[in-house]
């Protein structure tokens, strides 16, 4: 075999190990890159109908803006005026030659329309034409203001639209410059896309890729360390071969070239394997996630663009491997040829230093292992710190005290449309809720998050607190997180231009306050809902409702994923003691599949249970029976539905509650004698002012009212019954009205409840009456004529839809009135509760999740983001273990003869391993300190140059004692484990082999 072949070939186990480490590192980097780049492509295809290159920027000087405008730019004068009511408003001046629409900024659902001023005067947010005096910066102008045309334009309705001349007369305070983007010229650093969603995603991905390059650098460092160490070992094993080759005249450069060939082929195999592994593993994870039914919307396909990026990373790693080879090989090709490893002499140090050396210096490895150890541990620290900072940034997304409600079945919170008023529903249940709009925004090239929210609500569901200024009072005011203010270079008092999110538009908001909060909370601009809705979700709709402290309530409901809900309880409202009380519970299955559940109804301090199985959207009525022993008022309750029952002793006489208390002299009343549950009692003695009568077998008896006005007592009595006494005022002119009772059953319901309304009218008088009966309900007014003979009762039952309560009434209180000939004789109230059970329904179909919308967004884009995170972090961990193992293997290999001597002179394997572990600790402690410093300094530097800002979110390294402790301990453990792994083969070898190899 020629010596060159001998130098190139013979790959031992450690070469294959290093190939594995290089492969894993490459796979980790390429896998992460592939995912992120695919996500970028994905958002590109997703938003193809949002693509727009049109931007808008605000210029301080209108004249300058006109002077410098290019052909494809439209300059619109802007000014602020005071109105007579001392309000300030914006006025835009549309030039006469302005295009109707900004080309390239229109989307299918909205044209990017520029408003046109009316031919005479200006248009504004008014309902009638009026004369208004505008006080501008330069002049006051009195003009005719007519209502805006009915059209959606790029500007908010609150702005006045005039022609350029009017604005210039008032004094233009600035200009909005629309760039249609057709020229392709670079836009101004503060220009804002008219539709920001796509630039937001694209810009964010660019930042992610930039951050990824930090990871690539770290991976490159690892590969450098591993390849260097392995090459060093291979060269050491061939010292004699190389020495003899050089002694016999081989050119050093030829030997270097041969050694680099060896390194290159090793690295190449590793990188190639890693490339395949990265692509395959990533696809595998995505496929597995899809197979497992996770909502993965990614298709990892290697397009030419992605392939270019991946090849770039691979090439970088290959170069790092080559560099390692040069570093490892240079010493043996420079200087005199050597045949054996040389040992430097240890100098003589003063006694105290030698004593310190004895403790601090390693026994079996030497300090040359320090640099690669520190480098590898720096990568390890970098990973820990980056993970910590990402965790810190995302911490608010994963809190258990907050949650998010989005639209049923929405694939992404951005696709969700949910009624803003749901927040009111949640609040009525004591849950803190904030309806919010996710508003993508880009300023220059920097994407950042705008949140459409009422700041008070926003701060109630987050930990945001104002540190400067005030909360927004008006639609054109905003508050900014302090981190974002730093990222964008904005201060309180500045006015920023916002583009639309998914609908083209322009808004100007003034930052009136700054707040701080943890993690991403601090990286947002909070703009009032009404400003963001028209350009993101539409009026009255939001993407999501964030809740706080609702978890225990909603999560307990969420656990009941069956979707079975009791919608109402029905049964008599009164019952005798010890009588059987029968009532029903109506159950509906709102879930998407058949479900079985036990319905539990609490009655007083007892509970009744019934199992029920229902298919999707089926409903049934369950019957329950119970008995009450003592009189009183009891509450039936299940699942947020309640009903009260009055329990009375059986032998009680009672007049209806609506029985007349006034009567004209000489009239006749029909007295109905009943028990409280309205069963008639015959043989009851009725007395009134000395008159006496006995009820017939239908429980009634007419009795004549005294002729003298005054106050009398109507008394009903019977042996064995509790008597009833009723005060009757006899007065002239007292009306002979019908008695009426209006009941809504149940009196409280949810949006899913269909209440029944019962109007009961009774004629308590001893004569035939014809009356007009009117029911006033949310459904309108219904009138009918009733004819009732003496003592007769009529009941009219109306369904929920007949009284306007049938069609999902919004939460609130509804009044119903029963009117007879213009006089209200009975009222009833029906309350629709903002519904915990609505939220339960949402949750049963998976719309409620813990965490926040952005967390969901990440989850939806990446499927199971935690799984990928774990995979990536483990791969990174494996790489660092590989790196430190290679380092220690090299160090041990260099001193294998010393280990041989130790073992030859009787040191046990355990002692050798213990010595090595102690050495690892000695090396790792200073290396950990150094590497922590290096990693922290690197992250600090990266943060300074804004590399660690992704989607406007600033990643801050949380230097908590815990993190520092974990990383330090982790580093030392890593070093010790690696040392033991690396040393194991050397303590297994024959001692003779160690000494004489």
Partner 1 sequence: MTGPVLRGDSLTVERGDSTILADVSITVEPDTSLLIQGPSGAGKTTLFNVLGLLSTPTSGSLYVHGDDTSALPERKRAVLRRDAIGFVFQDFQLIPDLTAWDNAALPQDHTRSRDEAWLDTLFDALDILDLKDQYPATLSGGEKQRVAIARALANRPDVVFADEPTGQLDPETAERVLDLLFRVKDQTDTALVVISHDPTLSDQFEETHVLIDGSLRRKSDERIPQ
Contact residues: partner 1, CB under 8 A: 343-346, 348, 361, 366, 897-898, 900-911, 990-993, 995-996
Strand, helix or coil at 176? strand
362 vs 779, beta carbon nearer partner 1: 362
345 vs 770, beta carbon nearer partner 1: 345
Question: Who contacts 89 (Cβ-Cβ below 8 Å, separation ≥6)?
Answer: 80, 81, 83, 124, 158, 159, 160
Q: How many residues does the chain have?
A: 997
366 vs 419, beta carbon nearer partner 1: 366
Smallest separation, CB 912 to partner 1 (Å):
9
Smallest separation, CB 346 to partner 1 (Å):
5
266 vs 923, beta carbon nearer partner 1: 923
Q: Is the dihedral of CA 162, 166, 168, 170 positive or negative?
A: negative
627 vs 897, beta carbon nearer partner 1: 897
Smallest separation, CB 239 to partner 1 (Å):
15
Smallest separation, CB 278 to partner 1 (Å):
40
* Per-residue CA distances from 144 to 115, 153, 935 (Å): 17, 21, 66
732 vs 996, beta carbon nearer partner 1: 996
The radius of gyration of the chain's CA atoms, rounded to the nearest angstrom, is 42
d(CA 580, CA 596): 28
Local structure of residue 765 (DSSP, 8 states): B
Smallest separation, CB 236 to partner 1 (Å):
16
240 vs 911, beta carbon nearer partner 1: 911
13 vs 348, beta carbon nearer partner 1: 348
366 vs 530, beta carbon nearer partner 1: 366
Across 532-558, b (16+ Cβ under 10 Å) vs e yields bbbbbbeeebbbbbbbbebbebbeebb
Smallest separation, CB 27 to partner 1 (Å):
37
Among residues 630, 634, 640, the alpha carbon closest in space to that of 585 is found at 640
334 vs 348, beta carbon nearer partner 1: 348
Strand, helix or coil at 51? coil
Bridging pattern class, strands 823-832 and 662-663: unpaired
Strand, helix or coil at 593? coil
* Per-residue CA distances from 86 to 81, 335, 512 (Å): 9, 88, 19
Smallest separation, CB 987 to partner 1 (Å):
8
816 vs 898, beta carbon nearer partner 1: 898
Smallest separation, CB 876 to partner 1 (Å):
35
203 vs 900, beta carbon nearer partner 1: 900
Diameter of the chain measured on Cα atoms: 147
d(CA 189, CA 191): 6
Residue 416 neighbours by CB distance under 10 Å: 24
Question: Who contacts 980 (Cβ-Cβ below 8 Å, separation ≥6)?
Answer: 913, 916, 917, 920
Tokens 């884009």 found at: 861
Across 299-331, b (16+ Cβ under 10 Å) vs e yields ebebeeebeebbeebbebbbebbbbbbeebbee
Residue 917 neighbours by CB distance under 10 Å: 16
Residue 45 neighbours by CB distance under 10 Å: 8
346 vs 465, beta carbon nearer partner 1: 346
Tokens 């001349």 found at: 165
Smallest separation, CB 343 to partner 1 (Å):
4
Among residues 538, 500, 474, the alpha carbon closest in space to that of 154 is found at 500
Smallest separation, CB 992 to partner 1 (Å):
3
Smallest separation, CB 892 to partner 1 (Å):
14
Strand, helix or coil at 756? strand
Burial class (CB in 10 A: 0-12, 13-18, 19+), 901: middle
Contact 715, 646 (CB under 8 A): no
Give the H/E segment covering residue 447.
strand 446-452
2 vs 344, beta carbon nearer partner 1: 344
Smallest separation, CB 979 to partner 1 (Å):
18
d(CA 830, CA 804): 11
d(CA 729, CA 713): 9
Local structure of residue 941 (DSSP, 8 states): H
Smallest separation, CB 10 to partner 1 (Å):
16
Smallest separation, CB 983 to partner 1 (Å):
14
Region for 489 from its dihedrals, namely left if φ exceeds 0, alpha if ψ lies in -120 to 50, beta otherwise:
left
157 vs 366, beta carbon nearer partner 1: 366
944 vs 996, beta carbon nearer partner 1: 996
363 vs 561, beta carbon nearer partner 1: 363
Smallest separation, CB 485 to partner 1 (Å):
58
Local structure of residue 802 (DSSP, 8 states): G
179 vs 919, beta carbon nearer partner 1: 919
Smallest separation, CB 995 to partner 1 (Å):
6
Among residues 208, 480, 516, 412, the alpha carbon closest in space to that of 853 is found at 412
Quote the distance between the C-alpha of residue 971 and its chain's center: 34
* Per-residue CA distances from 740 to 195, 428, 545, 573 (Å): 61, 32, 44, 18
Smallest separation, CB 38 to partner 1 (Å):
52
The Cα angle at residue 219 between residues 395 and 385, in degrees rounded to 5:
25
d(CA 128, CA 134): 17
Smallest separation, CB 899 to partner 1 (Å):
10
């Amino acid at each position: 075999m020629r010596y060159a072949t001998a130098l190139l070939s013979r790959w031992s186990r450690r070469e294959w190990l290093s190939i594995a480490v290089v492969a894993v590192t490459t796979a980790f980097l390429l896998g992460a890159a592939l995912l992120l780049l695919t996500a970028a492509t994905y958002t590109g295809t997703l938003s193809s109908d949002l693509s727009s290159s049109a931007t808008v920027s605000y210029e301080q000087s209108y004249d300058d803006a006109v002077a410098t405008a290019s052909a494809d730019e439209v300059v619109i004068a802007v000014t602020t005026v005071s109105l007579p009511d001392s309000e300030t408003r914006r006025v835009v001046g549309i030039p006469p030659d302005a295009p109707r629409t900004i080309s390239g900024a229109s989307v299918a659902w909205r044209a990017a329309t520029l408003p046109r001023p009316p031919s005479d005067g200006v248009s504004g947010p008014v309902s009638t034409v009026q004369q208004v005096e505008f006080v501008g910066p330069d002049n006051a102008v009195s003009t005719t203001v007519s209502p805006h045309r009915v059209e959606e334009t790029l500007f908010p309705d609150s702005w006045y639209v005039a022609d350029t001349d009017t604005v210039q007369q008032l004094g233009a305070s600035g200009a909005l410059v629309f760039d249609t983007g057709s020229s392709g010229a670079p836009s101004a650093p503060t220009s804002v896309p008219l539709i920001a969603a796509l630039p937001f995603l694209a810009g964010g991905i660019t930042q992610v890729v930039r951050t990824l390059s930090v990871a690539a650098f770290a991976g490159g460092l690892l590969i450098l360390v591993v390849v260097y160490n392995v090459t060093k070992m291979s060269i050491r094993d061939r010292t004699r071969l190389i020495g003899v080759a050089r002694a016999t005249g081989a050119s050093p450069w030829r030997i270097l070239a041969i050694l680099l060939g060896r390194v290159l082929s090793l690295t190449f195999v590793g990188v190639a394997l890693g490339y395949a592994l990265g692509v395959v593993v990533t696809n595998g994870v995505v496929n597995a996630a899809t197979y497992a039914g996770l909502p993965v919307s990614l298709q990892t396909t290697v397009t030419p663009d992605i392939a270019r990026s991946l090849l770039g990373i691979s090439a970088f790693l290959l170069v790092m491997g080559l560099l390692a080879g040069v570093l490892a090989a240079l010493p043996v090709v420079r200087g005199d040829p050597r045949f054996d490893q040389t040992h430097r002499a240890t100098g003589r140090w003063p006694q105290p230093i030698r004593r310190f050396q004895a403790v601090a210096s390693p026994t079996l490895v030497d300090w040359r292992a320090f640099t690669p150890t520190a480098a590898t541990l720096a990568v390890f620290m970098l990973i820990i710190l980056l993970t910590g900072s990402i965790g810190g940034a995302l911490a608010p997304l994963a809190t258990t005290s907050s949650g998010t409600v989005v639209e049923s079945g929405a694939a992404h919170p951005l696709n969700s449309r949910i009624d803003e008023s749901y927040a009111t529903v949640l609040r009525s249940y004591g849950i803190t809720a904030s309806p919010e709009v996710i508003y993508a925004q880009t300023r220059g090239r920097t994407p950042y998050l705008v949140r459409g929210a009422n700041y008070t609500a926003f701060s109630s569901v987050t930990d945001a607190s104002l540190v400067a200024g005030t909360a927004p009072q008006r639609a054109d005011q905003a508050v900014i997180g302090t981190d974002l203010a730093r990222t964008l270079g904005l201060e309180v008092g500045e006015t920023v231009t916002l583009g639309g999110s998914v609908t083209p538009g322009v808004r100007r908001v003034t930052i009136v306050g700054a707040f701080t909060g943890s993690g991403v909370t601090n990286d947002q601009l909070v703009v009032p809902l009404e400003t963001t809705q028209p350009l993101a979700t539409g009026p009255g709709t939001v993407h999501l409702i964030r809740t706080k402290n609702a978890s225990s309530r909603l999560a307990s409901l969420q656990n009941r994923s069956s979707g079975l809900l009791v919608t109402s309880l029905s049964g008599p409202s009164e019952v005798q003691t010890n009588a059987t009380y029968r009532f029903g519970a109506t159950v509906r299955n709102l879930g998407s599949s058949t479900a079985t559940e036990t319905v539990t109804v609490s009655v007083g301090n007892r509970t009744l249970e019934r199992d029920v199985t229902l298919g999707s959207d089926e409903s049934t009525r369950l019957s329950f029976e119970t008995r009450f022993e003592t009189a009183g008022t009891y509450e039936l309750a299940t699942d947020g539905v309640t009903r009260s029952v009055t329990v009375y002793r059986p032998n009680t006489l009672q007049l209806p509650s609506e029985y007349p208390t006034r009567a004209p002299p000489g009239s006749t009343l029909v007295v109905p004698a009943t028990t409280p549950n309205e069963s008639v009692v015959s043989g009851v003695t009725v007395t009134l002012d000395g008159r006496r009568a006995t009820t017939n077998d239908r429980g009634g008896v007419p009795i004549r009212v005294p002729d003298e006005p005054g106050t009398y007592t109507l008394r009903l009595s019977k042996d064995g019954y509790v008597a009833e006494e009723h005060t009757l005022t006899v007065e002239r002119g007292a009306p002979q009205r019908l008695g009426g009772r209006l009941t809504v059953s149940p009196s409280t319901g949810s949006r899913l409840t269909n209440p029944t309304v019962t109007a009961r009218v009774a004629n308590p008088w001893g004569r035939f009456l014809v009356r007009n009966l009117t029911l006033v309900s949310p459904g309108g007014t219904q009138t009918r004529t009733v004819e009732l003979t003496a003592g007769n009762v009529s009941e009219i039952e109306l369904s929920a839809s007949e009284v306007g309560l049938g069609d999902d009434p919004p939460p609130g209180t509804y009044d119903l009135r029963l009117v007879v000939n213009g006089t209200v004789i009975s009222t009833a109230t029906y309350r629709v509760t903002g519904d915990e059970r609505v939220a339960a329904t949402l949750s049963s179909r998976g719309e409620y999740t813990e965490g926040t919308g952005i967390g969901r967004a990440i989850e939806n884009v990446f499927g199971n983001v935690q799984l990928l995170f774990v995979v990536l972090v483990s791969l990174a961990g494996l790489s660092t273990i590989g790196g430190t193992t290679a380092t220690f293997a090299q160090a041990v290999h260099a001193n294998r003869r010393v280990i041989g001597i130790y073992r030859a002179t009787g040191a046990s394997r355990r002692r050798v391993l213990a010595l090595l572990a102690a050495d690892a600790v000695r090396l790792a402690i200073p290396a950990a300190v150094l590497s922590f410093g290096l990693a922290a300094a690197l992250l600090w530097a990266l943060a300074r140059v804004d590399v660690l800002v992704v989607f406007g979110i600033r990643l801050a390294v949380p230097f908590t004692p815990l993190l520092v402790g974990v990383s330090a301990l982790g580093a030392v453990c890593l070093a010790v484990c690696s040392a033991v792994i690396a040393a194991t083969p050397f303590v297994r070898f024959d001692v003779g082999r160690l000494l004489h190899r």
